Structure 1
Amino acid sequence: MNTARRAARGLLPPLASVAVYFLARPLLHSDAAALAVAGAIPAAYAIVAALVWRRIELFALLSTAAFALACIVSLLDGGSALPLKLHEAAITFVLGIALLVAVLIRRPMPVGRWLKVPDDQRSTDETLGVLIGAFLVVHALVQLVLALTMSTATYLTAGRVIGWAVLAGGALSLWTYLRRIRQRATTVG
């Protein structure tokens, strides 16, 4: 299946979950309950996709695990909606910190190899680790601030758009850096 179709198919469950939240919220007693019902859609989609297509998407797996953990934390916290709002931001935060710590301890993750960078040197992995790690941490922190300052309904719409804008900025920076590396490799080689 082509990448564009797979990406579009991957956006459907999160968008459907927002719609389900707005439908379920008037019927349920709390934001947390409506978020749990709405969040079950992408989780169920990930499970069905793994069974039907026999393909496990890493982010879907991480998101489903984070959602399950957020449900448990929400229950233990007396039904707080905050863990359910931030379950995806928790993933980007942990991944971003892991990339940054790996660079700090001088063991950068092989991001250049994962992205098939022609100039796959340690310095490239360090730069990519800092670039991607920083944007992931910024995304998580922006989501945290938005979740703390906005109502759940506003957060689900505005928070997603703002979060996507932060990630798009990171993706544009990454694309620009990778393009420069590939151009340099073409002129040298």
Structure 2
Amino acid sequence: MRAATGLRRRRLVPSLLLNGALPVVAYALLQSHMDSVTALALAMAVPVGVTVAVFVARRRVDPIGAVAVVAFGIALLVLALSGGNDLVLKLQEAVITGPVGVACLVSVAIGKPLHLLLFKMLDRRRPGRAVPVPASERRRVANVVTSLLGTTLVVHALVLLVLALSLPTGTYLAIARPLGLAIVAAGAAVVMWYRRRVATPDPAAR
């Protein structure tokens, strides 16, 4: 378990550098040779190209890179439809995290938390193995986890939107990606802490 965790962490650092630092460097090198929209598009395309190349060569999916690939594809489509507005490229992650976050919060509001679907899928795929959350607690846990995930993703999208509207492109690239990843990492840490807390039996209840 610890070896697997260590391996994931070692893979995470290059991924963060690739998706966070490389676009900043690429944009700084390209902006003096072309218009800002083209430079931004090419800078954002660099980690996408590396992610695709790694997948083709090693058949290994980088989760952060995979999100970047999907977001970049959506951003290019919207960019074409918007007539070349660089704000679209700045918000390529937010166009995913924002709607997904809102969907999570709406699912809780209507009494059908998305995280509850995960429990049901696990029950169907692993009928012989117990999910580490009692059935009686699953809806409450699903409500909390889905709310945490939704809030994290909505905050991520809103922060990126504010930065995109208030900062020049170069500064935005230097600040937004690291800050966005920090927000998502903090939200994921809270979710993991809560799930471990729920899964751990309370000695006082025995």
| Range class of TM-score, shorter chain | 0.7 to 0.9
- Single out whichever of 168-177 and 135-144 deviates more from structure 2: 168-177
Aligned length: 187
Q: 1:34 aligns with which of 39, 60, 63?
A: 39
Q: 2:148 aligns with which of 121, 124, 131?
A: 131
Residues 1:171 and 2:188 aligned together: yes
Instruction: Letter of the 1:138 partner, please give it.
Output: V
Instruction: Letter of the 2:76 partner, please give it.
Output: C
Residues 1:48 and 2:62 aligned together: no
Q: 1:118 aligns with which of 114, 125, 132?
A: 132
- Single out whichever of 54-63 and 75-84 deviates more from structure 2: 54-63
C-alpha deviation, 1:117, in angstroms? 7.0
Aligned match of 1:140: 157
Aligned match of 1:87: 92
Aligned partners of 1:162 and 1:12: how far apart in 2?
Answer: 13
Instruction: Letter of the 2:89 partner, please give it.
Output: L
Structure 1 unmatched ranges of 5 or more: none
C-alpha deviation, 1:137, in angstroms? 0.5
Deviations 1:19-72 (A, max 9, x none): 11111111112x211111111112112211221221334553342122122123
Residues 1:78 and 2:87 aligned together: no
Q: Percent identity?
A: 36
Structure 2 unmatched ranges of 5 or more: 122-129
Give TM-score, length-normalised by structure 2. 0.78
Instruction: Letter of the 2:95 partner, please give it.
Output: A
C-alpha deviation, 1:133, in angstroms? 0.7
C-alpha deviation, 1:186, in angstroms? 5.4
Q: RMSD of the TM alignment (CA)?
A: 2.6
Residues 43, 75 of structure 1: alpha-carbon distance in 2 compared, 3 angstrom cutoff: same
Q: Which has the greater radius of gyration?
A: 2
Instruction: Letter of the 1:88 partner, please give it.
Output: E
Aligned match of 2:107: 102
Deviations 1:61-88 (A, max 9, x none): 3421221221232233232110100101
Aligned partners of 2:181 and 2:59: how far apart in 1?
Answer: 28
Instruction: Letter of the 1:169 partner, please give it.
Output: A
Tell me if structure 2 keeps the 8 A contact 1:63–1:91: no
C-alpha deviation, 1:166, in angstroms? 2.6
**What secondary structure is seen at the aligned counterpart in 2 of 1:26?**
coil
Residues 1:8 and 2:22 aligned together: no
Give TM-score, length-normalised by structure 1. 0.84
Greater RCO (CA < 8 Å, at least 6 residues apart): 2
- Single out whichever of 47-56 and 77-86 deviates more from structure 2: 47-56
